[in-house]
Amino acid sequence: MRSIAVMNQKGGVGKTTSSVNVAAGLARAGRRVCLIDLDPQAHASLHLGIETTGSADSVYQVFAGARTIEQARQMVAPNLWVVPSDLDLAAAEVELVDAPGREYILRGALENPPAAEQFDYIVMDCPPSLGVLTINALCAAREVFIPLQPHFFALQGLSKLFETTALVTRRLNRELRISGIMLCLYETGTRLAADVTDDLMRFLSESEPQSPWSGAKVFDSRIRRNIKLAEAPSFGQSIFEYAADSAGAVDYGALVDEVIAAEAGRAVERSAA
């Protein structure tokens, strides 16, 4: 099973859109996928047509110990389950501040019952902050995908994400690695986008081999600006359901193909180990 945290502390870079459509694309490819919405705004849940209320099961009850992942999840499409969020999750940051082992609550929930026996992928949509919820995702995941808009300030903020991942890897989860960077809201043909992409790839190629981002792949598939991607959430659908022939569906389809292609390489690494 691959467990992936989709993280960026900056809003508006395509984080939730990428979480939802990568999860939906993997499910369409026959993989069993569980999308965990860790953002109190619940945008990933709404994107797939789930509107939670105070009485509905959500990831908040999982953190409170009242529900398991198995009890809180909802099937929204063939091979695709969602553990929805709601506004109550915002209180978790305060409620968990003194809880022992608060960083590992989500990891424990995924181990009981073992998610690896039920899913091929766990995709976690993190909130746009580096608080307890995001740390839980980083402790539960083995991989981090970073959606990045190819602008100068976004590239500057990337260093903070790298620092956070390095800290979590060093102190809490030695298996965590940044494995993929997704270029979103990409404007083809602009000099800025090309320059930022070149700078990013140069930085990664020159990184220390022991760093958590060493070997990270900048996905070849660029997610272009596309109005259909902005419209799909209002219909409670992924881009593949809403506009299967749109540029957004083509781009995310190609990205999913790259994610799946990496499975073979990981299988070889496990057998060698």
Query: In the predicted model, what is the mean pLDDT of residues 229-243?
Result: 96
Number of domains the chain contains: 1
Instruction: Tell me if 221 sits within 8 A of 260, measured CB to CB.
Output: no
State the burial class of residue 228 (Cβ atoms within 10 Å of its Cβ: 0-12, 13-18, 19+): middle
Q: How far apart, in whole angstroms, are the C-alpha atoms of residue 18 and residue 145?
A: 10
Q: Which of 101-110, 111-120, 239-248 has the lowest mean pLDDT?
A: 111-120
Query: In the predicted model, what is the mean pLDDT of residues 202-231?
Result: 90
* Predicted confidence (pLDDT) at residue 139 exceeds the cutoff of 80: yes
| CATH number of the domain within which 83 lies | 3.40.50.300
Higher pLDDT, 271 or 69: 69
- Determine the pLDDT at residue 158: 85
The SS3 assignment for 50 reads: coil
Exposure string of 132-141, with b = 16+ CB inside 10 Å and e = fewer, is: bbbbbbbbbb
Partners of 35 in the β-ladder: 82, 123
Domain that holds residue 136: 2-272
Q: How far apart, in whole angstroms, are the C-alpha atoms of residue 253 and residue 257?
A: 6
* Predicted confidence (pLDDT) at residue 252 exceeds the cutoff of 90: yes
Higher pLDDT, 166 or 129: 166
- Determine the pLDDT at residue 141: 97
Instruction: Tell me if 10 sits within 8 A of 105, measured CB to CB.
Output: no
Higher pLDDT, 10 or 27: 27
- Determine the pLDDT at residue 265: 61
* Predicted confidence (pLDDT) at residue 271 exceeds the cutoff of 60: no
- Determine the pLDDT at residue 97: 80
Query: In the predicted model, what is the mean pLDDT of residues 32-58?
Result: 90
- Determine the pLDDT at residue 268: 47
Count of other CB atoms within 10 angstroms of residue 88: 18
Assign 3-state DSSP to the chain and report helix, strand, coil percentages, each to 5: 50, 15, 35
Output the pTM of the full model.
Answer: 0.92
Q: How far apart, in whole angstroms, are the C-alpha atoms of residue 184 and residue 45?
A: 20
Q: How far apart, in whole angstroms, are the C-alpha atoms of residue 10 and residue 164?
A: 14
